[in-house]
Structure 1
């Protein structure tokens, strides 16, 4: 996707971010992108309060990508962790997935990490998402061996459709 602008999220972006994250992770009517987790999780992926808190977080950045018309097409949350950065809440509008918006957001994370003097970038992936793991591995990420329990009972992460969910840690060196 040409002419993307990556910028800090603003409070006026909150509703659009919630919508994009919901459609990217849970799918909508005929809008499920390749990133949907709807076969594993139902319910919400995030809400206004969480996104508002991420916009206002003084210890991290919520970045958004906008297209040439100024339409918000994706987001990613970045937090500094010791000598690296961790990202999450990474979503691209399913209508523009595959056009380079996700790559542009990941590049922005790498650039920010380098500007902060960090040596690595990391995140977690739902264990059953082999396609997502393969995508990240093509981007240079490698499994760390870290396994994080899925927060069953915490509806903020969705309503599990299975009892074997967990997160696997991934990291790449800069």
Structure 2
């Protein structure tokens, strides 16, 4: 488990490294080194530089980046405040480093950020067939709400190999 991690807001200068990290964590052969791969579910990329730039220009959005002592990017998470709710998504960890506690620390950092923004809950969407990922979030206090959302039809999110939907998960903050 990494103990000397730095977690801080990403800036536009981080976009090239973020594109590489996020796409490697979810899609393509490199993603198969980790357990968060969507390579069998979706073709194409997970994000691009233009999308990340747009995210970082949105006032309610923060992307937290996680680096090691050598400032190597190890992970990131997207956070968007909507009133007293924080949406958390794009939790990404470098595939070869998954299962070492980086994702858990990023999730906790997102929840801490939410508390500092006076949010009462954190929500997220997870692809419904990602049972192992849903279980991981449940072990960290997230619950299925019963709500679902359609998977985006735009190819900029990837091209599904099957019909996909999202389940909505939520965690109340104390």
Note whether the superposition's TM-score is higher than 0.5: yes
Please report the RMSD computed on the Cα atoms of aligned residues, expressed in angstroms: 1.2
Deviation track 1:8-57 (CA, whole Å, cap 9, x = no partner) reads 10111111111111111113347531000111101011000011112222
CA contact (8 A) 2:31 2:39 kept: no
Report if aligned partners of 1:24, 1:93 keep a CA contact under 8 Å in 2.
yes
For the 8 Å contact 1:27–1:33, the answer to whether it is kept is no
Distance (Å, rounded) in 2 between the aligned partners of 1:143 and 1:46: 25
Partner of 1:88: 89
Q: List alignment gaps of at least 5 residues for structure 2.
A: none
**How many residue pairs were aligned?**
172
Structure 1 segments, 4+ long, off by >4 Å, are: none
- Structure 2 residue 24 is matched with structure 1 residue 19: no
The Cα of 1:160 is off from its aligned counterpart by 0.8
Q: Where does 1:65-144 land on structure 2 (aligned, <5 Å)?
A: 65-144=66-145
Relative to structure 1, the CA distance from residue 145 to residue 30 in structure 2 (aligned partners, 3 Å threshold; closer, same or farther) is: closer
1:157 is aligned to 157
Distance 1:109 1:58 in 2: 16
Q: Distance in 1 between matches of 2:15 and 2:108?
A: 22
